[in-house]
Structure formats: structure tokens, C-alpha cells
Structure 1
């Protein structure tokens, strides 16, 4: 079972998002170059065809990116909720934030939290405004602590 530290939770970034942005901006730049060549040589239809292909590809990638963006925003929102929960828990238990590790990067019901050497299950209310901690014991003691992104 993996447990994530506060620094890992704070620096959640996805390289795939950056890759998608690079593809979109490179396609946009190709579209601009091909469109300017088309405007210069209006009689050659190959530039017009390349412009249409680049535009359609850009529209397709933009649609996929928007869908992924909305999903990513939800995940980042839940990750920031977990960071705030860890900070709140550290104040309540009077331990440092670096002593608390969570089994998930997203705040949800049933997350296992490690505080020093004890393990607790987080029971959230339906509106996620209240929680309770129940001490649990692990069947498999094999745990990995992930403090920063690898």
C-alpha cells in the first residue's frame, strides 16, 4: 500500500497536460504557417488542403483537451481538498504535517491515514463537512511512503 506525503500532494502535476499543450500550440503554429502559404499561393490547392487538415486536427485536439481539462480540474480540486484535510488533521492531532501520510491523493470516504505509527480510516459525511477517524490495523504491513514525486 502506498502512502503519500504532503509534499507529494502539493506538487501533483501531470506531464500529459504539458504534452497536450505542446501538441496544441505546435498544431496552431503549423496552421498559421500553412495558412499564410495558402494566402500567398492561392492557386496551389495543397496549402489549402493542409490548412483544412491542420484546422480539423486542432479542433479535434481542442475538444479532447477540454474534456480532459474538466476532468483534471476535478482531480486537482480533490487533491487540494486532501492537502487541506492533512493540514487540518495535523492541527487537530498536534503533529507536524510531515508526520501524516494518506493512502490516496484524493479526499474520499475510506481513505487510510497514517499518523506517526498508527493507521486510521477516514469516514466522511455525505456533504464532506465532517469526518471521523477509526483506528485500523493493516493486514499486509508492506507499505511504501512517497514523499515527493518520483
Structure 2
């Protein structure tokens, strides 16, 4: 079972976007190089063909980036709800927020919260403005903690 700390939720949200940005910049540079090579050697059409291939790959990665941006804005808004939730649970139980870990990056009904080696199941209200914690017992005690 994987649990996430508040530090993980604050810092690890944009790794996939970084890869897409690097790929897009790489393809733009390759298109520019192929364009220069094509204009320099107009009779060699392989530079034009490679430029077209790189342009199509650029369009593909831009499409991936747009899809990722839509997905991450939704996930980021849900993750931003999780951080105040962790702080509220820590305040209610008189512990530091670093001692509270959750098994989901989004705030949903039924997630597990671990507070100092005790597990609780979260029951959210319909509006999501209050919660109750009920003691839970996990079957698998192997925990992968994402810091």
C-alpha cells in the first residue's frame, strides 16, 4: 500500500509535464536544424522529409501536453484540497502535518489516513466541508511511503 506525505503532495506534481516540455523543445530545435539543412542543400530531400517527420512528432507531443494539462489541472485542484485536509487532521489530532500520511493524492470518500501508526478511513460529507475518521485495520502492513 502506498502512502503520501504532505511534502510529496507539494512537490511531485509536474514530472510528466517536464518530459513533454523537453521533447517539444527538442523537436523544435530539430525542425530548425532540418530546415536550415534543407535550404542549404535543396536537392537533398531527406532533410525536408526529416523536418516533416519531426514536425508531426512535435504536433503529437503538443497534443499529449494539452491532454496532460487538462488532466493535471483537475488533479492539481483536487490535490490542493488534500493539503488543507492533512493540516486539519493534524491540527485535530495534535500532531505535526509530517506525521499524517494518506493513501491517495486526491481527496475522496474512503481514503485511508495514517496518523502515527494508526489507520483511519475518511468519510466525507456530501458537500466535502466536513469529515469523520473511523478506525480502520489494514490487511497488508507493507507500506511504501512516498516522501
Sort the TM-score into its range (normalised by shorter chain).
0.7 to 0.9
Tell me what 2:135 maps to.
Answer: 136
Shift of 1:105: 1.9
Q: 1:126 to 1:46 in 2, by over 3 A?
A: same
Superposition pairs for residues 121-132 of structure 1, below 5 Å?
121-132=121-132
Q: 1:45 aligned to 2:45?
A: yes
CA deviation string 1:8-60 (max 9, x = no partner): 22222454432222221111100011112223333433222222221111111
Tell me what 2:88 maps to.
Answer: 88
Gap regions ≥5 residues in structure 1: none
Aligned residues between the structures:
147
- C-alpha RMSD of the superposition: 2.2
Tell me what 1:7 maps to.
Answer: 7
* 4+ residue runs over 6 A deviation: none
CA deviation string 1:98-143 (max 9, x = no partner): 221112122111111122343222112333223222x223142614
Gap regions ≥5 residues in structure 2: none
